[in-house]
Amino acid sequence: MSQRHPVTALASLPPGSGRAFTVAGQRIAFFNVAGAVHATEDACPHSGAPLSEGQLNGCVVTCPWHNIRFDVTSGRMPGSKENSLAVYPVFINGDQIEVEV
């Protein structure tokens, strides 16, 4: 059963940035896209690279190891109809980021 977990203060994730946290035993990447926070699994499915360390351009993060790109809002590679990454519901509670895992 899914459960909400507090993650960090919203101020610690400024727009245009990404950062990873371990939540409920899972490494999850959080991305702030123009003020909206999105969460995906942190490991690139190709080689396990930490996506939170990739370059975020709009809503697309580029894997830091092999330049594979993912839309952080959907978990899909641009142009693909299938999800490549797990995505998690994010909630803002006051100034706190929460995620449902």
Per-residue pLDDT 10s for the chain (101 aa) are 899 999 999 999 999 999 999 999 999 999 999 999 999 999 999 999 999 999 999 999 999 999 999 999 999 999 988 889 999 999 999 999 999 99
- Angle (CA) 3-15-86 rounded to 5° is 40
pTM over 0.75: yes
**Strand 96-100 to strand 4-9: parallel, antiparallel, or no bridges (unpaired)?**
antiparallel
What is the pLDDT at residue 81? Answer: 86
What is the pLDDT at residue 82? Answer: 85
Instruction: Set out the domains of the chain in order of their start, with CATH numbers.
Output: 4-100 (2.102.10.10)
Q: What span, in angstroms and rounded, lies between the C-alpha atoms of 73 and 64?
A: 18
